[in-house]
Amino acid sequence: MNDSPDRPAKAARDAQPSEYGFETRAVHAGARPDPVTGARNTPIYQTTSYVFEDVEHAADLFNLQTFGFIYSRITNPTVSVLEERIASLEGGRAAVCAASGHAAQFLAFFTLLEPGDEFIASRNLYGGSITQFGISFKRLGWTCRFVDPIDPENFRRALGPKTKAIFIEVLANPGGIVVDLEAVAAIAREAGIPLIVDNTLATPYLCRPFEWGADLIVHSTTKFLSGHGTSIGGALVESGKFDWAKNGKFPTMTQPDPAYHGLTFYETFGDFGFTMKARAVGLRDFGPALAPANAFYTITGIETLHLRMERHVANAQILAEFLEKHPQVAWVSYAGLESSPYRALARKYLPKGAGSVFTLGLKGGFEAGVKLVESVNLFSHLANIGDTRSLILHPASTTHRQLSPEQQIAAGAGPDVVRLSVGIETAEDLIRDLDQALAKAAKA
Ligand SMILES: *Cc1c(COP(=O)(O)O)cnc(C)c1O
């Protein structure tokens, strides 16, 4: 577990003070040479279960009276290294990993909400989150109210007595929108509810939401953290600063848990009680555990996060500037451009760059979009982001084709819209590829 009080783990923490720089923590946090074999890299603990020392040890583990490993649905040593590393990079107290970004979101809300509860979410989210929150969560008795995040006051206006959280993406997928994180955090704080930030697109290298007042962070580690398009995964991180007991709104945290002999998670585990409950109840009873091999790929990916993100944002900036001047392109929505209405917010929250996912509009509309994605050579036409490779998608003919034209436009996926996730290749090669494909699209 992240907070294992046993000796080796403590020694590891002592050797890795949080004062180390981001890059050092990306390479080292949570890991240490294997105490038995000396293996320097984190092994893949490809095991389902762990031997108990004796019956008393087993009882203590099951009662959460000691930290250790029982069964890999709940904890696994490889996954634990990843949890500690992500918590460290975000400046959080603790993290719990899950099988996917969506599973991490489920764990966050399952730990927070009871049937009948509500939360408010930005309407500018990853499309899958809109479906998860708006349709599937409804069947669990959880209501999500979507608001336009451009005016932070919209979140305040949507608050009600049953509102238990606010959820945003600072850098929103896909449209190049930046939300005023500090302002939304202040509204959540006044309402006595946590602000949850999906930090997938920015990664902790570009933005650290806890520094602006967020309380919980979720990640799809599938994207930039694993970074190479190899592994689906997710994480939930807690800042450790939210007071779950102050207003009686969070009985899941403050009332005795019948599944653990009446243990109260906030009282017992304090500043890491939320991720403890997400693990000990959410992972245990619903089972979306991250596979140790996927944790290993993600740990390996994170070791170069800072290097990759630097090149991702540099390439994105070059391509956005090239496309903005291109005669076939009507508009480019990238918060790194001076023309972006979100430029000032991006400077504040994303000083190292506005990410590498953005959209553009083609003058040739739907037909040009189809022709463009069919004409690229180096860009891959697929529905993912955050790969080392450059990726391209025409939402209106793929992910958003079931929607009416009006719904497509409202979702920022109109017939003319193309989404790019800019990789870390040679920028001139990417420009050449888009240029030749745009020339073919112009004839469509
Ligand atoms: C991909 C993505 C998700 C969902 O993550 P999965 O790992 O695919 O479940 C959530 N939020 C954002 C911003 C994403 O890009």
CA distances from 324 to 316, 411, 428 (A): 12, 22, 16
Q: Is residue 343 predicted with pLDDT exceeding 50?
A: yes
pLDDT band at 1 (very low <50, low <70, confident <90, very high): very low
Q: Domain boundaries in the chain?
A: 22-301, 306-442
CA 198 – CA 132 distance, rounded (Å)? 14
The whole-angstrom separation of Cα 246 and Cα 160 is 18
Please give the Cα distance from 442 to 419 (Å, whole number): 18
Alpha-carbon distance 67 to 313, whole Å? 40
Read off the pLDDT band of 7 (50, 70, 90).
very low
Give me 192's structure tokens. 């006595």
The answer to whether residue 402 scores a pLDDT higher than 60 is: yes
pTM, two decimal places: 0.94
Where does the pLDDT of residue 191 fall: very low under 50, low under 70, confident under 90, or very high at 90 and above?
very high
Bond before 174 cis per omega within 30 degrees: yes
Q: What is the pLDDT of residues 277-319, one digit of tens each?
A: 999 999 999 999 999 999 999 999 999 999 999 999 999 999 9
CA torsion angle for 150, 134, 209, 273 (degrees, to 10)?
150
Mean pLDDT (the chain) is: 93
Best residue for ligand 1 mutational test, from 86, 109, 126 (most atoms within 8 Å of Cβ): 126
Ligand 1 center–CA 220 separation, angstroms: 5
In this predicted structure, the answer to whether residue 174 has a pLDDT above a threshold of 80 is no
**CB 102 less than 6 A from any atom of ligand 1:** yes
Backbone phi and psi for residue 345, each to the nearest 5 degrees, phi listed first: -65, -35
Report the CATH number of the 306-442 domain.
3.90.1150.10
Beta sheet of 118-122, edge-to-edge order: 94-98, 234-238, 216-220, 195-198, 163-169, 118-122, 143-147
Percent of the chain whose predicted confidence (pLDDT) is above 70: 96
* Beta carbons of 418 and 372 less than 8 angstroms apart: yes
- Is ligand 1 within 6 A of the CB of residue 387? no
CB atoms inside a 10 Å sphere around CB 251? 10
| Ranges 57-61, 141-145, 431-435: which has the least confidence | 57-61
Task: Using alpha carbons only, give the angle 165, 167, 168 rounded to the nearest 5 degrees.
Answer: 155
Residue 52 pLDDT more than 90? yes
Predicted local distance difference test score (pLDDT) of residue 176: 83
String of DSSP letters for 354-370:
--SEEEEEETTHHHHHH
Q: What is the mean pLDDT of residues 345-356?
A: 97
**Ligand 1 atom closest to 102 (CA):** 9
CATH topology of domain 22-301: Aspartate Aminotransferase; domain 2 (3.40.640)
Mutate to test the pocket of ligand 1, among 132, 170, 223, 297 (most ligand atoms within 8 A of CB): 223
The finding on whether 298 has its CB within 6 A of some atom of ligand 1 is no
Instruction: Average the pLDDT over 361-390 and give the result.
Output: 96
Which residue's CA is the closest to the ligand 1 atom numbered 12? 126
Helix (H, G, I), strand (E, B) or coil at 62: helix
Closest by alpha carbon to 133, among 101, 156, 160?
Answer: 101
pLDDT-based confidence at 32, cuts 50/70/90?
Answer: very high
> Rounded to an integer, what distance in angstroms lies between the CA atom of residue 420 and that of residue 65?
49
Q: What are phi and psi of 296, to 5 degrees?
A: -60, -45
Predicted confidence band at 4 (pLDDT cuts at 50, 70, 90)? Answer: very low
From residue 400, alpha-carbon distances to 19, 127, 137, 351, 397 in Å are 45, 9, 21, 32, 7
Which pLDDT does position 401 carry in this prediction? 83
* Contact in structure between 200 and 358 (CB atoms under 8 Å): no
End-to-end CA distance of the chain: 56
Ligand 1 in reach of 128 Cβ (< 6 A)? yes
